[in-house]
Amino acid sequence: MKTFFNDQHPLHHGRHEMFRGKLVPCVEVPSRADFVLQELRARGLGEVASAPEVDLAPIERVHARRYIDFLSTAWNEWVALDPANAELDALPSYWPIRTFRSDVLPASFPARMGLFSYDAGSPITSGTWPAARQGAACAVGAADHLLQGGRSAFVLTRPPGHHAGHDFFGGYCFVNNAAVAAQRLRDGGVARVAVLDIDYHHGNGTQAIFYERGDVFFASVHGDPHTEYPYYLGYADERGAGAGEGCNLNLPLPRGTGVARWREAMAIALQAIARFGADALVVSLGVDTFAGDPIAGFTLQSSDYLQVGDDLGATRLPTMFVFEGGYAVAEVGVNTVNVLEAFKQRAG
């Protein structure tokens, strides 16, 4: 399996996130990706390549121009507010909910920061944009690998992407790598693409991007949003709209769910993807379903990820994996590579 590694990822290095009234150390840290890379190499999973830098066109297929403009200038604008800000992460303080306007782009940078975000847990740092942009380049590289006949690929990048929407960041995500890849596959001639999201948290950004589309199926197994982040999306009654009616499947599960029930849910998602008639599969691979994850609530064990990879390999679809969450840093490499290695063994 060919890995597209984002070697720019350490440029994104948040210091703090807002959590229940306090600034606390970020859980989404650079060492996450380094542990996965180390494990990939130790187990000889295959070639590790970096992606050629791409222009913004494939990102603009998914994200709004004014949002990309915001991301690419955000750090400089943050420091321009006050030179002392160079030592602080940028976090939003104001949000335009419901009866506020979102068509007006305020001149104030803090106002724009709120316009383009939905939480205060996703700091922008000096290197957030170059890291996120290069992550999208890796997603494009992996999609192109499938378009050229490759059977599988892995995008090893951070920051993650599945919470980022058409014009907003949140949930540690800025550019939606899985969505960029799915759209790239469509633009390259793949008629029907499925995105399967198995991160602990619902992939609200990916769902929203494709919600009214009949050409990209979105399925997600995740913690029940009644109690779990991102709270405001990911319920079972969200089934797609317009041309996308029936092309969205949410399988929320309660905190404490173990591997048996979790695998049953993934099997239901895979059946729906087969019925849809997908020609290629993008897996948003978060391993924050692990029992030891510090911010999640399922109880999968490291060995269970071998079974997950085997289940995915049985679909026989050209498949690309995109790294999302997983915050038990010491185990994140083993858990991720267990999925990939078992997939490879099953799929050949």
147 interacts with, out of ligand SP5, Zn ion, none, CB within 5 to 8 A per kind = none
Minimal distance in Å, beta carbon 14 to ligand SP5? 11
- Among positions 306-325, residues that touch ligand SP5 (CB under 6 A) are 324-325
Q: Is 234 in the site for ligand SP5 (CB under 6 A)?
A: no
User: Which of 23, 295, 301, 346 is in the footprint of ligand SP5 by CB under 6 A?
Assistant: 295
Provide Rg for the chain, Cα atoms. Answer: 19
Mapped onto helix, strand or coil, the DSSP state of residue 216 is strand
Near ligand SP5 in 185-214, by CB under 6 A:
199, 201
Residue 27 binding ligand SP5, by CB under 6 A: yes
Nearer to Zn ion, 158 or 201 (CB): 201
- Among the listed residues 19, 94, 95, 109, the single contact to ligand SP5 using CB under 6 A: 19
Nearer to Zn ion, 14 or 325 (CB): 325
Backbone angles phi, psi at 276, to 5 degrees: -60, -30
H-type alpha helices, the chain: 31-42, 57-60, 65-81, 109-115, 128-147, 177-187, 204-210, 259-276, 304-313, 329-347
Cα–Cα dist 329/348, whole Å: 29
Interface with ligand SP5 includes 229 (CB under 6 A)?
yes
Binding mask 70-109 for ligand SP5 (x = CB under 6 A): ----------------------------------------
Residues that bind Zn ion (CB under 5 A): 199-201, 286, 288, 325
Decide: is 288 part of the binding site for ligand SP5 (CB under 6 A): yes
Check residue 15 for interaction with ligand SP5 (CB under 6 A): no
Separation between Cα atoms, residue 268 and residue 108, nearest integer Å: 47
**Residue 52 DSSP class:** P
Q: Under DSSP, is residue 243 helix (H, G, I), strand (E, B) or coil?
A: helix
- Phi, psi (rounded to 5 degrees) for 22: -130, 150
Query: CB of 203: closest distance to Zn ion in angstroms?
Result: 9
Establish whether the linkage from the previous residue to 159 is cis, with ω within 30° of 0: yes
* Contact region with ligand SP5 (CB under 6 A), list: 16-24, 141-149, 248-256, 257-265: 16-24
231 binds, among Zn ion, ligand SP5, none (CB under 5 to 8 A by kind): none
Q: State which residue has the least CB distance to Zn ion.
A: 325
Q: Are 10 and 30 in contact (CB under 8 A)?
A: yes
- Structure-block tokens of residue 103: 């068509």
* Partner that binds at residue 218, options ligand SP5, Zn ion, none, CB closer than 5 to 8 Å by kind: none
Q: Which does 160 bind (CB under 5 to 8 A by kind): ligand SP5, Zn ion, none?
A: ligand SP5
The whole-angstrom distance between residue 312's C-alpha and the CA centroid of its chain comes to: 18
d(CA 137, CA 58): 9
Sort residue 21 into left (φ over 0), alpha (ψ -120 to 50) or beta: left
- Considering the complex, what minimum distance in angstroms separates the CB of residue 172 from ligand SP5? 5
118 binds ligand SP5 (CB under 6 A): no
The two tokens of residue 199 are: 């991160």
Indicate the residue among 54 and 173 with the shorter CB distance to ligand SP5.
173
Reported as half-sphere exposure (CB side, CA atoms, 13 A), residue 17 has a value of 16
The residue from 171, 223, 244, 313 that contacts ligand SP5 (CB under 6 A) is 171
Nearer to Zn ion, 58 or 161 (CB): 161
Q: Give bridge partners of residue 284 from the DSSP assignment.
A: 197, 322
Catalytically active residues are 163
| Spatial contact of 235 and 250, defined as CB atoms under 8 Å apart | yes
CB of 292 to ligand SP5, least distance (A): 14
Q: Footprint of ligand SP5 on this chain (CB under 6 A)?
A: 17, 19, 24, 27, 121, 160, 163, 171-173, 199, 201, 229, 286, 288, 295, 324-325
